[in-house]
A = this chain, B = another copy of it.
Amino acid sequence: MSAESLSTTPRTTLHRLRERARTDRADLHAVLEAGLVCHLGVVIDGVPVVLPTGYGRIGDTLYLHGSSANRSLLTAAGQQVCVTVTLLDGLVCARAVFHHSMNYRSAVIFGTARLVTDAAEKLAALRAVTDHLVPGRWAHVREPNRKELAATAVLAVPLDEASVKVRAGAPKDEDEDYDSGIWAGVLPAALTFGAAEPDPALTGEVPVPAHIAALAGRARGTAPIT
């Protein structure tokens, strides 16, 4: 296995529908780049807890952040966690109920989470999270002060063990259903940004900056992996 491959452990090897599996590290990075929200799974008191949060990536480390009073984040530190990013690309409408599906790209990452305590790493991670959501935002706004940094917890999750799945394209039906006359096809879906809504509290004339205008009115991360 090359360094460019994703690890394949038993839990990241697809047992069914193997044609949906992607094993290139570049595919993992592409899914993470296209997504905005991840779902972090942590075991708390023996029970799974799944929480949505923003994230950013630096090299082969995924960074998540939250309040330093967030119990799930703090519990996750030192524990094995699962982080999943899912992009819904379309509803796949087949002729048979059974063959209905979704077009999607997903990444499921397993790793031991680490609480980031180094000041420089923490700042770099927060920049990665901020600029992942809105590229160019960090350089435009006020950086966190000491009090704000203390109020923020950052988790690092290594991207060593992950599985990436992709479904794209038309529905697949049973041979005998193709002549049924039932409409089949795909309803494509994408997260789309509307026009920027300036804060009513803005004072004076503050034009919409280029890094916001670059996103407004456009779909996010729709380039499919094929």
Contact = CB atoms under 8 A, between A and B. Distances in A.
- Work out how many copies of this chain go into the complex: 2
Interface string A38-68: 0111111011111110100000000000010
Contact of A84 (B52, B144, B209, B216): B52
A110 to B, nearest CB: 7
A48 B44 CA distance: 10
A202 B187 contact: no
A144 to B, nearest CB: 5
A202 to B, nearest CB: 6
Nearest to A101: B54
A114 interface: no
A225 interface: no
Given A16-B70, A140-B182, A108 B47 contact: no
A196 B143 CA distance: 44
A102 B54 contact: yes
A202 B179 CA distance: 8
